[in-house]
Each structure stands twice: as C-alpha cells, then as structure tokens.
Amino acid sequence: MASSTASLSTTFPTFPLLRRSTFLPRNIRSVSIKTRYQNRPLIVAAVSVPTPNLLQTSSSGVVLVDASEAETIHRLKNTYIKNIVPRLKEEFSYINIHQVPKVEKIVVNCGMGDADQNSKGLEAAMKDLATITGQRPVKTKAKQSIASFKLREGATVGIAVTLRGDMMYSFLDRLINMGLPRTRDFQGLNPNSFDGHGNYSVGMRDQSVFPEIRYEALGKQKGMDVCITTTANTDKEAQRLLALLGMPFREGGGGPTLVFRKKKKAHYDPKARR
C-alpha cells in the first residue's frame, strides 16, 4: 500500500498546524497538515503572500505623498496666493513679497457666565463651537477675582479656539459666504472695528447662522466673538486684505454708535408736595 504522505519540500522541517486558520510566518516554507488517518500527515509547501503596500515609502522609510494630493490647497488660500498677493504688492509698492500682509490666525471666543454652575450647558457649547470651527475649544479662566461680579480667580468664564492653516481658511470662507449673509438685518461690517495694529474683531449674536448648527438644538440664542489677526502694519492694509478676501465692509465708514440710556426717575422729595 502506497504511503499517503506526499513530500513537496524536504529541505525544511515540518511544523504541525493545530487549526486551519493558523497564520504562517514568512520564514516557514513547508507545514504538516493532519488528515483523517492518524500519524499520516500530509506535507505541503507554504506559499507566502506578500502584503499590499498601501503607502509609498522611500528607502529611509519616509512616507511619500502623492504629488496631486500635496498640491491640493484650500480655494481661499489659492486665491490669496495667485490673485491677492500680486495686487497688494502693486498697490502698496512692497519691495519683498514677504512684506505682503496675510491672515495669521483667527480666535473664536464664546463667553459663558454660568459655566461653573451649568456643566451640561458648557459641554453643549463646546460641542457646538467644535462643530462650527472643526476644532475642539479650550476653557478660558478668570485671571483675577472680582467681588462685584461674584467671580473668583481660576473660574471658567468661557471657551475659545485658535485656528491656523487650512482650518483657518475653511472657517473664514464659511464666515464670509455663509455666516454673515445669513445674519438678520445685516448691512455690512463696520470698517472702524480695527484695533490700530491690523487686527479686526466682529461679534455675532447668533451661532445658528452657520448651517452646521440647527436652531432647535441651541435651546437659547448664543453669540460669539471672532478676532482676525493679520501681519499688516496698519489698519488700511489689513482692511484692503480682508476686502479682497471677500469681507463685506460697509461703504462710507461706520455709522455713529447709538447708546440707549434708561430714563432717570425724579428724586422723591417729601417736602416738594407741601
């Protein structure tokens, strides 16, 4: 009777498999598989299947990025590089291209007076701001204690997030083209809201102007402050930069600020009636 063992590779030792799903090391060239007949294993050759190389790497192990993927940048940043930089360089007669102002960062701040007493509201506000900006905010703390406001040092007074790079351009694009136009009774931004050093601040009364936030999910109306920091030396250069990016400034400058004061009641004098 012929033997039921067929040897395909005799130069390597056999390794018995206890389970069919056992994975084979790469250095094993032959294995021993149990059959129905005891003490009569079938020796077969183990074929190593190469793992697919999903990421292209160099000889030193550095992951190589596809050229088409590396050249993909945000459309607002692309507009700034190709159109705005040459125009600002010509208007303000810059000698070096690095003198052209640019947006450095955007800080989005949301104040909360009852943050310590309302932990659920604080967490919901952080979630909403993270949904709008795409980055989780941090808690802002009070630097000093103020007895009249019942505020102690180190208490949470709000949340803030700092955006740079592509996240900054993405938020600025949605702010210009979606957030501000959806604001109720919007008549343009005040061009006099610069701080004298090329930085611009704008306050928004309602976060639901962004399509990422549903009005029903807010519960109550929440606002936020947006501070755009630029590298411009003067407010004129910063305003021109933001205007070319698409910021809808009000023509003719900002109007007078109206201050509504409560009408004072006449002091009660008991002798006046006599």
pLDDT above 90 covers what percent of the chain? Answer: 24
- Inside any domain, residue 274: no
Q: What is the mean pLDDT of the chain?
A: 73
Q: What residue type is assigned to position 1 of the chain?
A: M
DSSP string, 128-160: HHHHHHSS--EEEE-SS-BTTTTB-TT-EEEEE
pLDDT digits (tens, 9 = 90+) for 256-268: 333 334 444 555 5
pLDDT digits (tens, 9 = 90+) for 17-73: 444 444 555 555 555 555 555 555 544 454 444 544 455 655 655 555 554 544 566
How far apart CA 80 and CA 21 sit, in angstroms, is 57
pLDDT digits (tens, 9 = 90+) for 157-166: 788 999 999 8
Q: Is the pLDDT of residue 10 over 50?
A: no
Residue 47 contacts residue 28 (beta carbons within 8 Å): no
- Inside any domain, residue 218: yes
H/E element, 108: strand 103-111
**Intra-chain end-to-end CA distance of the chain, in Å:** 139
Question: Tell me, what CATH number does 198's domain have?
Answer: 3.30.1440.10
Model pTM above 0.75: no
Which of residues 238 and 52 earns the better pLDDT score?
238
Domains identified in the chain, total number: 2
Predicted local distance difference test score (pLDDT) of residue 155? 72
- Whether 43 and 148 map to the same domain: the answer is no
- Whether 217 and 136 map to the same domain: the answer is yes
Which of residues 5 and 187 earns the better pLDDT score?
187
- Inside any domain, residue 270: no
Residue with tokens 């411009």: 232
- Whether 147 and 18 map to the same domain: the answer is no
Residue 129 contacts residue 213 (beta carbons within 8 Å): no
- Inside any domain, residue 231: yes
- Whether 162 and 33 map to the same domain: the answer is no
- Inside any domain, residue 73: no
Domain that holds residue 1: 1-48
